[in-house]
Amino acid sequence: REELVLETRIDSLQSSGDFDAALRTARHFLDLWRAESAPAPYKVLEAEALVSTLERACELPEVAKCDLARAYQLDGEWRMLARNGRFSEAAAILNEQRRLFASTLDPDHPEVAGCLNNLGIVLLEQGDYDAAEQCQRDALRIRLNAYGRDHPTVAASLLNLANLLAATGDYEEAA
C-alpha cells in the first residue's frame, strides 16, 4: 500500500533531518487517510499529529533540527541492541532519545511517550520493575492526553502496564 511506502519515506527523511520534505510527504499521507471512504479515526489523528510535529520541526533552529534527526536515528540502534540482549545499552540509547525528543519537541510529546514505553519494556527485561512501571505510567499519561482513551496506542500502553503489573504479582491492578 502507498501508506506503507510513505511511512517509510517519512521515517527516512526524519532521520536524515530533511523535515521540509518529510512534512510535504506527511501532508500527502494525511490527504490519503482523509480520502478513504471509511478512514479509521485514529489513523487520521496520528497523521494530523505527524504533520503538526513536522511543522514544529521545520521551525526549529538548525542545531535543534540536528538533535531531532539524531533522536529519530537512535530508533534503529536501541532496537538492534535489545534484539541482541544488550538491554543496558538499549536503555541508555532510549534515555538519550527521550532527552532529545523532550528538548526539541516537548516533554509531553507522543514521541517521548514512545521512548518511555520502549524504555519500560527494556527495563522490565532487566528486572528493574519499579523504573519500568514508572516509564509505562508516564507513557500512558502522555498518550491519554495526546490521543484520548479510544486510541490503539493508548490500548498498547494499558496492555504493557498490565503485563508489567502481572509480572510483579499485582494481579488486582493489572486487571
pLDDT at res. 143: 96
Q: What is the pLDDT of residues 115-169, one digit of tens each?
A: 999 999 999 999 999 999 999 999 999 999 999 998 999 999 999 999 999 999 9
Q: What is the pLDDT of residues 95-105, one digit of tens each?
A: 999 999 999 99
CA distance 86 to 14: 26
Q: What is the pLDDT of residues 6-40, one digit of tens each?
A: 999 999 999 999 999 999 999 999 998 888 877 78
| Residue 86 DSSP label | -
The CA–CA distances, whole Å, from 144 to 9, 52, 81, 156 equal 28, 18, 29, 11
